[in-house]
Amino acid sequence: MRIRKGFLIDMDGVIYRGSQLIPGADAFIKALIERDLPFLFLTNNSQRTRRDVATKLIRMGIPAEERHVFTCAMATARFLASQKPNGTAYVIGESGLSNALHTNGYSIVDNAPDYVVVGEGRTVTLEMLETAVQMIIDGAKLIATNLDPNCPTSTGTRPGCGATVAYLETATGFRALSVGKPSPVMMRMARKELGLATSETIMIGDTMETDILGGVQMGYRTVLVLSGGTKAADVDRFAYRPDMVVDSVAEFAATPRRLDELVPTMNREDDSTHDLHQWKRTPA
């Protein structure tokens, strides 16, 4: 019997570094498509829409479509829509976040919002932060698309969403709810987007604190690649480990058998049932 499996794939450090494609990443994605294996690119960057992300990947030679992209902005907007349909938000972020909120029925306002939603942004001002602080004190809930403290750029490092959130938390005394990796909110949404069970899902990433931690907490198989910010010697510093460590995803394209060996071995009895009627018939 053929065992189903699918992949959640981080991008920066796994598929590309900055504006440079990681050698072999294009061949890996083509191998997934040829084997009809479902996959999603998972990103904690809320700046771009999924269409923008797909276009960037295509220009790098990656055969991506919009349906292959899942951002923390999308996860955040869907989560808020499930919590308070047709709500309002004050946004500190860029178009990827605003568009996702609009798509999910949210209005963006500049006074009395239900939520203050924070994503990545290169145009954050002290005035925006002061406005957000007062909104939170007045009762708006603080939501973070992710808690990454910084973002690598072609010229160095700039503050990330987590740094902005830390400012607001310190000023208000309220803690933010983060939806992006490693939050189970985003990790579960992405799995369900592919229609997979827990035992069928493999997370590939280059960061122990987000990609691998998120996968481990969800019970997914995890693969750490060393083409990004993590070195092999770093792994032993953590209380959890990936199931596999490779230099890059090129190893799977170069050796198809290794890709085929990436079969989840978790207990399938722990999977949530896809059939509600079957679940109701299961003895308690």
Residue range 84-125, pLDDT digits in tens: 999 999 999 999 999 999 999 999 999 999 999 999 988 899
| Cβ atoms of 279 and 271 closer than 8 Å | no
* 160 plus 94 within the same structural domain: yes
Q: Which of 22-31, 148-157, 270-279 has the lowest mean pLDDT?
A: 270-279
* 211 plus 168 within the same structural domain: no
What is the CATH classification number for the domain harbouring 192?
Answer: 3.40.50.1000
The whole domain housing 205 covers 6-44+182-270
Q: Is residue 67 part of a domain?
A: no
Reply yes or no on whether the pLDDT at 200 is more than 50: yes
* 135 plus 113 within the same structural domain: yes
Give, as one character, the DSSP assignment of residue 259: H
More confident residue, 185 or 19: 185
Strands 6-10 and 16-17 turn out to be unpaired
* 83 plus 172 within the same structural domain: yes
- Rg (alpha carbons) of the chain, rounded to whole number: 19
Q: Give the mean model confidence (pLDDT) for residues 183-196.
A: 95
Q: How far apart are CA 250 and CA 29, in angstroms?
A: 10
pLDDT of amino acid 229:
83
pLDDT of amino acid 275:
59
Q: How far apart are CA 51 and CA 265, in angstroms?
A: 34
Domain count of the chain?
2
Q: Count CB-CB contacts under 10 A for residue 238.
A: 14
Q: Count CB-CB contacts under 10 A for residue 26.
A: 20
* 103 plus 40 within the same structural domain: no
* 207 plus 265 within the same structural domain: yes
In terms of Cα–Cα distance, which of 131, 151, 66 is closest to 103?
Answer: 66
Q: Is residue 281 part of a domain?
A: no
pLDDT of amino acid 154:
62
Q: How far apart are CA 128 and CA 96, in angstroms?
A: 18
Q: Is residue 1 part of a domain?
A: no
The last residue of a domain, from among 115, 145, 178: 178
Q: Is residue 207 part of a domain?
A: yes
pLDDT of amino acid 1:
44
Q: Count CB-CB contacts under 10 A for residue 278.
A: 9
The last residue of a domain, from among 145, 160, 178: 178
* 115 plus 154 within the same structural domain: yes
Strands 115-118 and 88-92 turn out to be parallel
| pLDDT single digits (tens) 38-60 | 999 999 999 999 999 999 999 99
Q: Is residue 53 part of a domain?
A: no
Q: Which of 121-130, 150-159, 177-186, 269-278 has the lowest mean pLDDT?
A: 269-278
Q: Is residue 69 part of a domain?
A: no
* 24 plus 79 within the same structural domain: no
Confidence category of residue 30, pLDDT binned at 50, 70, 90: very high
* 147 plus 121 within the same structural domain: yes
pLDDT above 70: percentage of residues in the chain: 90
pLDDT of amino acid 103:
97
The last residue of a domain, from among 153, 178, 203: 178
* 149 plus 194 within the same structural domain: no
Confidence category of residue 283, pLDDT binned at 50, 70, 90: low
- The mean pLDDT value of the chain amounts to 91
Active site residues per annotation: 10, 12
